[in-house]
Chain A
Amino acid sequence: GQNIDQPTEMTATEGAIVQINCTYQTSGFNGLFWYQQHAGEAPTFLSYNVLDGLEEKGRFSSFLSRSKGYSYLLLKELQMKDSASYLCAVRQYSGNTPLVFGKGTRLSVIA
Chain B
Amino acid sequence: DADVTQTPRNRITKTGKRIMLECSQTKGHDRMYWYRQDPGLGLRLIYYSFDVKDINKGEISDGYSVSRQAQAKFSLSLESAIPNQTALYFCATSDPGTGAYEQYFGPGTRLTVT
Q: A residues engaging B (CB < 8 A)? A: 8, 31, 33, 40-45, 48, 50, 87, 89, 91, 96, 98-104
Contacts and interface: CB of A to CB of B under 8 A. Distances in A.
Interface size, B (range): 20 to 34
A31 B105 CA distance: 18
Given A40-B108, A43-B90, 4 more contacts: A40-B88, A42-B90, A44-B105, A96-B94
Interface in B45-73: 45, 48, 50, 58
B86 to A, nearest CB: 15
Contact of A104 (B42, B95, B96, B102): B42
B105 to A, nearest CB: 4
Nearest to B44: A101
B17 to A, nearest CB: 24
B42 A87 contact: yes
Contacts of A100: 45
B103 A45 contact: yes
Contacts of B103: 45, 99
Contacts of A42: 90, 105-108
Contact of A41 (B35, B44, B101, B107): B107
Nearest to A101: B43
Contacts of A50: 100
A45 B4 CA distance: 14
Contacts of B40: 8, 103
A48 B105 contact: no
Nearest to B88: A40
Contacts of B33: 98
Nearest to B100: A48
Contacts of A33: 100, 102
A49 B100 CA distance: 9
Contacts of B106: 42
A96 B31 CA distance: 8
Nearest to B38: A103
B43 A87 contact: yes
Contacts of A41: 107-108
